Every structure is written in C-alpha cells, then in structure tokens.
Chains A and B, each alone.
Chain A
Amino acid sequence: MKLIFEKSVPGRHCDLLPKCDVEAVALPESFRRQTPPALPEMSEVDLSRHYTELNQHVHGVNCGFYPLGSCTMKYNPRIDEEMAALPGFTGVHPLAPAYSVAGCREVLDTAKKYLCEITGMTGMTFQPAAGAHGEFTGVLLIKQYHHSRGDMGRTKIIVPDSAHGTNPATAAMCGFQVVNIPSAPDGCVDLEALKAVLGPDTAGLMLTNPNTVGIFDENILEITRLVHEAGGLCYYDGANLNAVMGVVRPGDMGFDCIHMNLHKTFATPHGGGGPGACAVGCKDFLEQFLPHSALMDEPGHLQVKSFAGNFLVVVRALTYLMTLGREGVPEAAQNAVLNANYLMRKIQGTFDLAFDRTCMHEFVLDLSEYKKETGVSALDVAKSLIDYGMHPPTMYFPLIVHEALMLEPTETESKETLDWAAEVFRKMYELGRKDPEYMHNAPHNAQIGRPDEVLAARHPVVRWQKA
C-alpha cells in the first residue's frame, strides 16, 4: 500500500474554512516557523480512499473470531457508539459551569454506582485512560495510604510470576521494590511462597483472579487475609473480571482496590490500541486518596491525566451496562466461561492443555511437547490461523507456560463459531505433523508474510522521509 505521503500532490487540498472575517494579526518574526510542515496535500476523495484501503487491512471484531487471551475482544455494540456521538456529550466543555454538565455528571455517577455494586467497592474514579494507567492509580492509593499513616517502611509490592508485565512495571513506577513469587504448579498463588515474603515491609499484593492462566484461585480468601495480617493491602487487577462479574465480587474476595478495563469487560471498542478507559474502585478507607483534576475539582489531590478521564468511553460502557442490567451482567460472565470451557474441551485431544481443569473465561494451550515432536511452534500455529481469517490467540503468555497460546473466546461468539474454531485448530494440529515447513512459512494468504522484526529494531525507520 502506498503511504499517504506518496499520494500527496502539491497544491491539492480540501476546502474547509471560510475566509477570515476579522483583521489578520502577524506573529512576530522571532516566534515564526521557518518552513511549513510537510503534511500530505489531499482532496477529500483521496483521503476517503486512502483510509478505506487501510481499513481493509485491519482485522476487527466485526471481521471474525478474535480469541486474543486476556484482552476480552467481545463484540462492541453499535448503540454504544451512537450514544457516545450525541452532541449533548461531545459538545460539552470540561470546564463549563456545573449546572450545564449535569448530564455528564449523571453518566459518571450512574456508572460509578453500577460498577461499585459489581465489584463490591464504594469509591471510584474514571480518570485513568487504560489498564496500565489504572494500575498506576491503584498502587498509588496503596502508597498514599501507608504514607498517611506514617508507615514509611512498606517498600515492597508482591507480584506472582504469572502476572502481566505491567504489574511489576507499575509497582516500580510507584517507587516500590518488586518481589516476584513463583506460582504453584496449578498456576495459582503458592501460599508458602507468599508467607515467606510477607512482612513489615509489605506494602501490598497485586493479583488477578481468575489468574492469567484462566483459573479461579480457590485460596483467595486466605491470600488476602495473609496480606492484611501482614499490614499490606490487596490490589485486584481487573483484566479478567469478565469471567466473574455478577457472580463473585473482588470486594468480597478481600481486595481493597481494583481497576477495571472498560474496553474489555464493558464492551467499549479497543480502537486499534486505544482509547480505552479505566475505572479504579476502592473501599471507603481509600476514597480520600482517589485522583482529581486540579482544574475541574480541587487542588491537593493526585492526578494521572487531565480533566475527568476518557469520558466518551464511560458513556459507551454505561450504555452497555444499562443494556445488560441486573440479569445480563452475570449472564455475560457465565457464557464467557461456558464458551471457554466448551472450546477448551473441543480442542482437547489435539494440542495439550496447560492445565486440565475447569477454566474461567480463558485457557492456555501448551505446545512444548508438540514442538518437540514436530518442530512447529506456538508462533507457527498462530501465524497459520491467520490464513483462516482467525485472529491468533495471545502468544507466549503467561511466561510460566512455554509455547503458550492463550484463548479467550468471550460470550459474544456463537456455538457455530466455536465449533468452527475447534475444527481449525484440529486442522492445524494435523497439518503441523504432515507439513511443518508449510507452517513455518505461514501465513500464506495474508497481505504480508512474516515481517523482519530484527531489521526493524536494528535499523529503525520510524517515519517516512522524502526520497
């Protein structure tokens, strides 16, 4: 595909603005830009076709199955988009007087009420823009709490080795030393390993439950009790909330604060990487530490971005929540878990399951043995799936499973899709045994073959330059 710059024609443009109806003002010479930016020069039809062409080379949830584990790629309802595009929301200035933003406040308050009930929390902020941003916000709650008590010796955050990379990176950004603890063979927290590291220097524990291998840690009450006993707080990474919403609440598991990815669990679109939105909830004793905007609310609080967060994403999530309601929320969770277990059992007998037990909303395949036998890796299988129009599962995560493929079908896939997906996996399994070479070179029908990532890193070309 040609780059937009390669389609640019000098002098071409879109007619968008009227002539200026007031006197021009000259910018003093010393502030003036020397040369104009070489932005593309395009007509509207050029633009329309360029972006249509790009869009045709994107796999969205609307194109087909997208079982990207831990990302909850569920269907994004269209009504949510329509509501977020209402001029009554898009045209509101964040610093407009209070009476004129009553509707926006109602959106935030209602979303807060629903999400507090779903998580068992009492306070909530929507300021963070993404999951990692929410983790940062949540762990800062823990830090402020200890500091407010003069308890400055709590310098360590405990993170299981199965955790997403953002967990340790977040703890480090919050100035904590990260203590990694090994997982038990079943992927759950090793209670002995946990006990061994708990102490007066424990600030808290970061945990997902269901965990990153898709298993509900049945010792969860014991885990949070042990951390609290040591004087630490428990942080719930809500990446996997889709499995349990309306069924069991993080607050009832003993967690003190939580982040939720509205772009996963509450069906707002991922947008090719963002914007997401993150709600961070907490128990009442932490509410005083929640972030606020210095300009919109009041100074004296922490703040992780400007204004009230990604507001239009909250509108989408609230629309979704109001649609699902009391019975729909647990129904979504239950069917997410049903779909994962159904697909897992349909695939079983081909690729190995990393953990052969009832899973939650996702499960992990372990291709180490298969690779030993055939030479075909998890990467080869993932790339081969592309030829079938299926987005590959998450690869090589969690780190505790080698040759991992992690599948999360979500509740919005039908039985037919799951049957088809299982059939494709079976084909892959057989193809790898028959013709490993073919799979090493997959995909064969995609727009490009496997890209040379080493070249990209060694000789970085990160912008277009005129030849």
Chain B
Amino acid sequence: MSYVPSTGEQRQEMLRAIGMQDFRDLYRDVPREMYLDRPLDIPEGMSELEVSRAVSAMAARNTVFPTVLRGAGAYDHYTPSIVKTVPNKEEFLTAYTPYQAEMSQGVLQSIFEYQTMICELTGMDVSNASMYDGAEAAAEAAAMCRDRKRRVTLVSAAAHPDTINTIRTYCFGTGDEMRVVPMKDGKTDMEALREMLTADVASFYVQQPNFFGQLEDADAIGALVHAAGAMYVMGCNPIALGIMKTPFDCGADVAVGEGQPLGMPIAFGGPYLGYMATTTKHMRKLPGRIVGETVDHDGNRAYVLSLQAREQHIRREKASSNICSNQALCALTASVYMAAMGPDGIAEVARQSMAKAHYLCRGLTAIDGVDLVYTGEFFHEFVTTLPRTDEVLSALEKAGILGGLPIEGGVLWCATEKATKAEMDRAIAIVKEVLAK
C-alpha cells in the first residue's frame, strides 16, 4: 500500500509511453554498485485497519494522567472544541507555505490575524508568522540582537533549562559566547546582572514567570539592560499575559515565548509554537516569515509574504537565520484559541490558573516537611521541598495524578484552570497521608 492511484496496467502504459521496460530503467543514472539489491529490513506493509490497531496499541502503552499538576514548559490547559476542529480542516492542513498569494489568501489572512493577536497580547509592534517553539525563538532572538561589537548573550539561570541549552547551541554555532547570570532566591540576581552587563553584551534573556514560577522584576531588569546599552529579550507565558504587564511595558525589545498554552496539547513535547515579536525599530531584523497587507492590481485588499529581503532564499549565507517555514497550523490553533477566549476569557484562564496554583500551594505547604523553596510572588508554578519525593509522586500517580516535577532542591508544581478543588484536595490528602507514615 503506497497511496499510488495509478493501476498496474496504467503504470505499464506510462513506462511504455516514455520508452522504458521497467522501473529499473528509471534509475539508470544510479551506479549499480550502490543499488540496494535486497528488500528493506522493515516489516511488510499493513492495511489501514492493522496499522490503526498497531499504533493505537502503542498509544495504549502510555499512561495518561487525568490530573496534571506538572508544567515546566508544557501546560495542561483546557482546549475548547472549536480550537481542535478548525486546524483539522483539510485545506489548512495540507497546504504549504503560501508562496502563491492568489490561491492562499485564507492562510495568509489567518497569519496576519495571528500576528495582530500576538502584538495585542505582548504590546509589541510587529510579530512574525511564528517560530518552531519557545526555546528556538529565544535562541533566534539572541542571534537577532548581536551586532559586530556586541556578541555576548546573557541568559538568566532561572530560565527553562531547555531554553538555556538551545541558546547555548545557537551561540556555539556562530562561535559566540553565552553567559549565565546566576539567580538569587529563585530569581535573576540583579547585582550579578549589573556586573555582567559589559560593553560586549548584545542582549539579556529573562523568562517571565521564570522556570521556578517566580515573577521577575521585569521593569527593573529592563532598565539595567538598557542602561548598559544591550537589548532586552523577554520570554513570556502567553496565558499569564492575559493579566500581566506586557513585555512592551516592561521595556522589552524582543518578546518571545512558548505558545503551547494557547490551545496545543502537551503531546510529549510537540508540535508547539514559538511566538516572536519586536518593535518597529527592529522589524527588519526579525527572522522568519512575515505576512503583510497590500492591494492587488484592482485595488482589493490582499495579503502576501512580505519583507523577504531578510530571508535565506534571497540572502543565502548572508541571512541571519536559515528559517524558511513557520508553525502555521499551530499559529492557527493559537489564533482560534485567542479568539474563542477573547480578552476576558484569556484573563480568566490566567486568573483561575493563578488562584488554583495558590490554593494547591497553601494546601501542600500546610503539611509538615513541605515548604516553599522560593517565597517571591508566583503565577501558576511554585517549588516546594518534598521529603520522600519518589514515594509521594508514585502514590499520586497511582491515584491518576501527575505530581510536580522533581528538580534540584525540590519539586516544581503547577496548576491550571483544569485542576478542580476536589482534585487538588485529593492530591494534598495523598501527600499528607504518605508523609504521615
């Protein structure tokens, strides 16, 4: 089964029409000695029914926890039904990058709308059509900020470890240096940052809320960074932005973030979405696709891939990034999510996530031996100490609850609007019970 519609007879007819005997003739340029003269060592093909059974069996070997109190970069929010159905429309699903504007207005307009929504959420002037995920967007933002004189990238130690590592990898690529600014009490150490902001620093990246759930003093950081002449990159949780000060208002030059909470399933890590926005001043340095509005020759409003002079197919080795696609379907998902939620809905998701995380935190830290590790303001994640971590988490898992993530120095918990009071009470009771033993 290979989804080839032409019948055996038609294939023969086509071979004859081009003067060939059999399929081997088609590969006459392939040197004989490298021709694979044996069947592939993979199983035989299967019918759709058999494949459906086999792959479903793999899915069944996973454990899906009905209650998820773990985040750390993958957040289990409620996905409205309409958000699942729209990206499944076959045209959106199977089209490619909208190179031909005349037959892609639907995709182009959806991206233009996405760009606008990201600008609204972040307060920034310009958004691109999206990046691969939050970590990669942060790495590309750091690259975008480097110029001839300023090559060093500073990253807060309180950022997501995968993000720090991805930025490090991109710096290794271009041979540039990344330095990690230490943290103090679970937040960026301001004194250390001040000292590390030397004349060769291109940018500083901070995550808000940070990996430990703590709220960074983003305005003060921005002021420090700008006073040193560097660019300020903020990685913000898009749900938190429903109620939190925008990166623009915090002084960010580039706003990036993991867009997964905007309607994408946690799905073992992907596909997710990187959003990326900047100010008008830096628009022409932004990597990735950007959709712009224009008119057609009759003066009708139309959308096109725009500002392409930045991109690899024009600039080749002089391009600052090799990216030539986006996560269009994920951007569409995020758009439908933001439109379904609206300004009030997204704020409500943020408020409820925050309220529930605080409720969970109060309940857990009332237990002997469970204490808050970092005591600053937090959004929907927090770190506690947890004696006998493995035992506690395992007891929670047996009850269908994925507890917090064990990290150095404690356990990182998360609650979203999906966690009910009853579920959290049960989780708290189990922790209490195990630790009372």
Residues on the B chain within 8 Å of A131, using CB? 324-325
Q: Mark A303-327, 1 if CB is under 8 A from B, else 0.
A: 1111111111101001101111111
Q: Does chain A have a CB within 8 A of B253?
A: no
* Residues of chain A at interface, number, CB under 8 A: 202
> Which residue of the partner chain, among A56, A93, A99, A103, contacts B266 with CB atoms under 8 Å?
A93
Q: Which of A297-351 contact B (CB under 8 A)?
A: 299, 301-313, 315, 318-319, 321-332, 334-335, 337-339, 341-342, 345-346
- Cβ of B74 and Cβ of A412 under 8 Å apart? no
B388 within 8 A of A: no
A232 within 8 A of partner (CB): no
Contacts of B107 on A, CB cut-off 8 Å?
54, 58, 272-273
With a cutoff of 8 Å between Cβ atoms, the chain B residues found around residue A37 in the complex are: 117, 120-121, 241-242, 343, 346
A449 touches B300 (CB 8 A): yes
List, in ascending order, chain B residues with CB within 8 A of A1's CB: 105, 109
Comparing A191-199, A246-254, A427-435, the segment that makes contact with chain B is: A246-254
Cα of A431 to Cα of B130 in the assembled complex, Å? 40
B365 at interface (Cβ–Cβ under 8 A)?
no
Chain A residue nearest in CB terms to B68: A93
- Is the CB–CB distance between A39 and B342 below 8 Å? yes
A101 adjacent to B62 (CB under 8 Å) = yes
From B48, B92, B312, B328, give the contact of A132 (CB < 8 A): B312
- Chain B CB within 10 Å — which of A174, A324, A334, A448 has the most? A448
Whether the pair A310, B271 counts as a contact (CB closer than 8 A) is yes
User: Does B409 interact with chain A (Cβ within 8 Å)?
Assistant: no
User: Taking CB as reference atom, which chain A residue is nearest B13?
Assistant: A415
When C-beta atoms are compared, the residue in chain A nearest to B280 turns out to be: A460
Could you tell me if A274 and B328 are in contact, using CB atoms closer than 8 angstroms? Answer: yes
Given A88-B64, A94-B266, A306-B258, 12 other A-B residues pairs in contact with their CB atoms under 8 A = A13-B345, A27-B377, A50-B339, A83-B52, A90-B266, A140-B172, A173-B174, A252-B36, A275-B271, A299-B165, A341-B26, A447-B103
List residues 153-191 of chain B with CB under 8 A from any CB of chain A: 160-166, 168-170, 172-175
A247 touches B30 (CB 8 A): yes
Q: B369 at interface (Cβ–Cβ under 8 A)?
A: no
Interface size on B, residues (CB 8 A): 202
Which residues A275-313 have CB closer than 8 A to chain B? Answer: 275-277, 291, 293-296, 299, 301-313
Interface residues of A in 53-90 (CB under 8 A from B): 53-63, 66, 68, 71, 73-77, 79, 81-83, 86-90
| Distance of A311 Cα from B173 Cα, bound (Å) | 25
Q: Which B residues are CB-close (under 8 A) to A55? A: 86, 89, 91-92, 106
Instruction: Give every chain B residue within 8 A of A94 (Cβ-Cβ).
Output: 73-74, 266, 268-269
* Cβ contact within 8 Å between B42 and A4: no
Q: In the complex, which of the residues B129, B168, B302 contacts A451, with contact meaning CB atoms closer than 8 Å?
A: B302
Q: Is A25 in contact with B55, judged by CB distance below 8 angstroms? A: no
Enumerate the 5 nearest inter-chain pairs by beta-carbon distance, A residue then B residue, closest first: A307-B269, A88-B59, A325-B45, A271-B329, A275-B271
CB distance from A384 to the nearest CB of B (A): 11
**What are the residues of chain B within 8 A of A39 when measuring CB–CB?**
117, 120-121, 338-339, 341-343, 346
Check: A457 CB closer than 8 A to any chain B CB: yes
